[in-house]
Structure 1
């Protein structure tokens, strides 16, 4: 099969399906939670992630969010974030992913430009949506993820549990939506740190090209484990057959991450890959240098977002 014909049936979730078939019990995602100095981890394997995203995709379609529609996704890095994102891709629904650190004014502008049909988020995001009028005029369906009983009530949204239950009651095997190479797959908004945030339209062909580049240029192989400090990059992990290990940190402000938390996650899962921005790379290097801490399992570090300094790379 030529590359052109292969991309005629493109969807990033085909890689997740393959991983679920070839290494079903393999770790797909682990999310770190630190409470009172104790490190806990929530885990999901490839076959469960595949099944859960199938159920959510069915539920979304039955709920009325269908192929070609656009949905804002404002969910903190979690198992639900992965299940939801892959569900949206599977159903051919276009996720709109924004950096929450870009500021209220910029967020409202992003939603005005992208005209989302649905809004999926944590209670905090929904309350802000209602108060500040995000997506007013275009958003028709709203889904809430997590929170307390009072928070869920304030969102005035359908719960993710309800959507999942709807999907669970649909017995038919789910078929991944196959799109043309240039069909819109996602809209990703930049942080706006160097100016006005801009929406970048991604196609599945672009995702495929990035997955191939990561696989071949960096030699990433199935079964590896990646310390994922950037939510968007972490989605490539399961698509590469690599587990995404998500540390307990504010992804919108990576420089505030606690190095001890990241070191603990790397040690717990013996991560071979690490994706960090240059500022966090410098912070980790300094912390490791001060404590003489060595990351013996890490064999590859990928950094993006700005140039990394020579001193950071050396550390």
Structure 2
């Protein structure tokens, strides 16, 4: 039996599936090339039987055919990040126990030495493929399909294992909620080693029989050119991408701005996720595009869990309610459900929730409570909508007996005319437990002294929420998905403390 995703591709046959700078490729093209890739991977065997296959291929038709080929051969896909240095790539390859490495020629010099050092089979995407395809194995939905590595903000990245059934549940939930159809056309600008790019955009598009236009890398000018010319119906991105698109729009001439805005207005849906969307970015984008961005909430381990509505009111700073096929609850520190208006940890249950952390049974067991996945994120339900308060570990600061949300403070600080971006963290302090500290990216040419800043903040925040220390930085440390890495921000303040304590 073919996987449902593959079976649906046969139904879409001649329709355009993928569009890249190299041309247009139909669903039949994808089926043909992926079956050749699968045959090459099998190399005479009848089934890879969940061998891990690591791949480093730029966004494009070859990436998709490689991923599908791994799945159709019965393997587990381990997509690598195109921007990672050798140590991080080697960690993922060895931690996942990959037996095969597939690379685009541009990454051969980076990956071949790793494959040879660990005696792994190495395949270049430029190598000729078998003209005749083998009988491909039956792949059941319960089979492991994908290992994606978490961003590692709180330790070494863990491999998150999802089955074909998990992916199908994640996709069909979004297909239903966001009303995907075969008439949709989406511009893909997201990394393809992350669930946002793989599931929310690529796999949803291919499940629906839609067109997915893929850029090999993000460039704001190029994205705007495509938006102006592409007649797209959907666009999904992270807040940092929207910020860059806004900056490019603001530099453009008046008639060009009108073309850019017109390109956005023709779409039916624009989505933001993977990091908190600053209200000022939301408002500016609404002015530019006419779209009130749909915010949603998800994780590598669960797919998407919460979403603002496709139709109906969306609220700034909120991520809506549970998606189809997803159960969500908030619990206190004892695991007891909390009423609306009371903060609690988000826990999720449903067919889209991941199977396990790769070869980490203790971490897997610890991540669940009575069958519910414990996200480690704190939220509150207000007027039937979830508002994310932050990671329990890094975004909830315990200062002077109070628990405060770093994300709430950040939203207020971003309204300061001199502050372009910011990150608020708690830094250990003998008197307060944790001291509220703010790293600030200031507008060009601006300076901000602590006391005037604190006076301004006290008019908008409770005194215990006002940062007692600030640090001006050129940019905030971020991971590949644009999320600010809070431990790195806290380290900036610790380094400043050490420097200040040194004798002159």
**Gap change, CA 1:10 and 1:262, over 3 Å in 2:** same
Unaligned runs of 5+ in 1: 1-8, 33-40, 147-158, 250-256
Contact 1:73 1:119 in 2 (8 A): yes
| Deviation at residue 117 of structure 1 after TM alignment | 0.8
TM-score, length of structure 2 as denominator length: 0.49
Q: Would you say the 8 A contact 1:128–1:134 is kept in 2?
A: no
Paired residue for 2:212?
244
For the residues of structure 1 that align with 2:136 and 2:57, how far apart are their CA atoms?
A: 25
Partner of 2:186 in structure 1? Answer: 226
> How big is the shift at 1:264?
2.0
Provide the alpha-carbon RMSD of the alignment.
Answer: 2.4
Residue 245 (structure 2) aligns with: 284
Partner of residue 260, structure 1: 221
User: Are residue 198 (structure 1) and residue 158 (structure 2) matched?
Assistant: yes
Which of 116, 122, 131 is 1:142 aligned to?
Answer: 122
- Tell me whether 1:17 sits opposite 2:42 in the alignment: no
Q: How does 1:97-176 map to 2 (within 5 A)?
A: 97-131=79-113, 133=114, 136-137=117-118, 139=120, 141-146=121-126, 159=127, 161=128, 164=129, 166=130, 168-170=131-133, 174-175=135-136
Shift in Å, 1:135: 7.3
Larger proportion of helix = 1
Q: Which one scores higher on RCO, CA 8 angstroms, separation ≥ 6?
A: 1
Aligned residues: 267
Shift of 1:53: 1.2
Contact 1:187 1:200 in 2 (8 A): yes
Q: What is the CA–CA distance in structure 2 between the aligned matches of 1:28 and 1:176, rounded to whole Å? A: 24
- Of structures 1 and 2, the larger Rg is shown by 2
Deviation at 1:208, TM superposition (A): 0.8
For 2:202, the equivalent position in structure 1 comes to: 235
Structure 2 residue matching 1:59: 3-state secondary structure: helix
1:62 maps onto 2:30 in alignment: no
Question: Residues of 1 paired with 2:152 and 2:242: CA distance?
Answer: 21
In structure 2, what is the Cα distance between the partners aligned to 1:241 and 1:82? 14
Q: How many Å apart are 1:246 and its aligned residue?
A: 1.0
Q: Does 1:313 align with 2:282?
A: yes
Structure ranking higher in strand proportion:
2
C-alpha distance in structure 1 between counterparts of 2:20 and 2:153, whole Å: 27
Alpha carbons of structure 1 residues 265 and 297: separation in structure 2 relative to 1, 3 Å? same
Structure 1 distance, partners of 2:146, 2:219, is: 31
C-alpha change, 1:283 and 1:195, in structure 2 (3 Å) is: farther
Residue number in structure 1 paired with 2:272: 303
Q: How far did 1:121 drift?
A: 0.5
- Provide Cα deviations, 1:127-171, integer angstroms capped at 9, x if missing partner: 22344x3574352x211124xxxxxxxxxxxx2x2xx2x2x224x
Secondary structure of the corresponding residue to residue 99 of structure 1: coil
Tell me the CA shift for residue 311 of structure 1: 2.2
**Structure 2, unaligned runs of 5 or more:** 193-197, 286-504
Deviation at 1:113, TM superposition (A): 1.1
